[in-house]
Amino acid sequence: MTLETSIRYCKLCTIPDTRPDTPFDAEGVCSGCNYYKYRKHIDWAKREDALIKLLKKYKNKNYYDCVVASSGGKDSTFQVLKMIEYGMKPLVVTVTTDMLTQLGRKNIENIKNFGVDYMEYTPNPIVRKKLNKICLNTVGDISWTEHMAVIASAIRTAIKMGIKLVCWGENPQNENGGPEDKSDVNDKMEPKRMDASWHHEFGSTLGLRASDLIGVDGITELDMMSYEYPTDEEVKKAGTMGMFLGYYIPWDGHQNATIASENGFTKYHKWVEGSIVDYEDLDNYQMRIHYYFKYLKYGFDRTSDWSSLAIRRGRMTREEGIKLTKEIGGKFPKEYLGMKLEDILKYIDMTIDEFNSTCDKFTNKNLFKTDSDGNLIRDADGDIIKINYDNV
């Protein structure tokens, strides 16, 4: 990968080689595409049998059989429906998002009406706002709290309540491409589990540990507990296991959205701003900022992810995907889900000027056009311009 001179794109989809943890093979095909090809050889009936056997092992007579870690989104809706279908008695656990939207609230209430017990856990919002700003400024990710809190608090709840199984959706290392030893591309290997090592390597920690933030701006150890993944020892002692449902069922977010919609899930009224679907990331006003920083750091965003998923499943051609990533991807996040950037930033006590200088700080200037003084060149709309993007 020579960042200084070019960005290389997968021959089959729109993923660039600047995407972290996404190796390309000798033919220039990304690991996400190779994993998807491998899925055709998986004996899914056998995998479903294995799932049924596994669930049977965790069934209780008079108590919850599992925790379903739920954001309230389309995949969570699908997961809850699936667990009910398999005769499980789940406790659905939602960790409130950084900045919950009305649509997010509506979709959470929809799942409750499937007839399940539901727990909503809200880490201290005053501390969380502080953390949003600190993390945006230090690691360029406003959603660090979101990723940490969801994973850590779901398993913590399961352990505290003596529930032995936590049901997650797809292992993101499969769907988006990841190292072979962390994805399920080989039937000879055991299914990957959501555990401390997975979390530390792929849970978007960005090298920042919850404990690093104790003492910053008055933040205490107790404040950070919601973001701290339990130790292997704690998990082992509790006997709680985190499974990825996507190992057992051929995962398709698009199809999950259709099934969720048929069961009361509400989509956005158009494609979400900065994306090419109407059913993802509907529950947190800050999400577009998260994806914009991904673009500044690595030169890709959700338009690449979603077009690649659609291309692999034959719902879009690569040419159409490239066109969409160029037209919609990489734009300054002026608004999200109808809320103006100023108001989203006001929530974390940040001005547009502060935001702009944070953007500059995290922009990888090897990936964008600069003038002879090293300043970023902007197009007519004020957006920065990716290098060698005309000959993808």
Residues 225 and 246: their CA atoms lie apart, in Å, by 28
Residues 333 and 290: their CA atoms lie apart, in Å, by 10
Q: Least distance in Å: CB of 294 to Zn ion? A: 17
Residues 90 and 209: their CA atoms lie apart, in Å, by 30
Instruction: Choose between 33 and 69: whose C-beta lies nearer to Zn ion.
Output: 33
Instruction: Choose between 13 and 92: whose C-beta lies nearer to Zn ion.
Output: 13
Q: Least distance in Å: CB of 80 to Zn ion? A: 31
Instruction: Choose between 12 and 245: whose C-beta lies nearer to Zn ion.
Output: 12
Instruction: Choose between 7 and 148: whose C-beta lies nearer to Zn ion.
Output: 7
CB burial of residue 214 (10 Å; 0-12, 13-18, 19+): middle
Amino acid sitting at position 173: Q
Q: Least distance in Å: CB of 17 to Zn ion? A: 10
Q: Least distance in Å: CB of 174 to Zn ion? A: 13
Nearest to 132 by CA among 348, 290, 345, 336: 348
348-370 exposure pattern, b = at least 16 Cβ within 10 A, e = fewer: bebeeeebeebbeebbeeebbee
Instruction: Choose between 230 and 253: whose C-beta lies nearer to Zn ion.
Output: 253
Residues 374 and 325: their CA atoms lie apart, in Å, by 25
Residues 339 and 286: their CA atoms lie apart, in Å, by 10
Q: Least distance in Å: CB of 15 to Zn ion? A: 5
Q: Least distance in Å: CB of 383 to Zn ion? A: 25
Under 8 Å between Cβ of 114 and 81: yes
Residues 328 and 330: their CA atoms lie apart, in Å, by 7
Q: Which helix (H) or strand (E) holds 115?
A: none
Q: Least distance in Å: CB of 32 to Zn ion? A: 5
Residues 48 and 36: their CA atoms lie apart, in Å, by 18
Instruction: Choose between 169 and 177: whose C-beta lies nearer to Zn ion.
Output: 177
Under 8 Å between Cβ of 69 and 240: no
Using Cβ positions, the residue closest to Zn ion within the complex turns out to be: 10
**Token pair in block for residue 166:** 């936590």
Instruction: Choose between 16 and 242: whose C-beta lies nearer to Zn ion.
Output: 16
Instruction: Choose between 10 and 154: whose C-beta lies nearer to Zn ion.
Output: 10
Q: Least distance in Å: CB of 312 to Zn ion? A: 7
User: Could you list the residues that contact Zn ion (CB under 5 A)?
Assistant: 10, 12-13, 15, 30, 33
**Token pair in block for residue 54:** 């596994």
Under 8 Å between Cβ of 172 and 198: no
Those residues with Cβ within 8 angstroms of residue 241's Cβ, 6 or more apart along the chain or in another chain: 164, 165, 166, 193
Strands 339-340, 90-95: pairing is unpaired
222-238 exposure pattern, b = at least 16 Cβ within 10 A, e = fewer: ebbebbbbbeeeebeeb
- The beta-strand segments (E) located in 70-123 are 90-95, 117-121
Instruction: Choose between 34 and 71: whose C-beta lies nearer to Zn ion.
Output: 34
Q: Least distance in Å: CB of 34 to Zn ion? A: 8
Instruction: Choose between 37 and 237: whose C-beta lies nearer to Zn ion.
Output: 37
Tokens 């856990």 -> residue: 121
Q: Least distance in Å: CB of 367 to Zn ion? A: 19
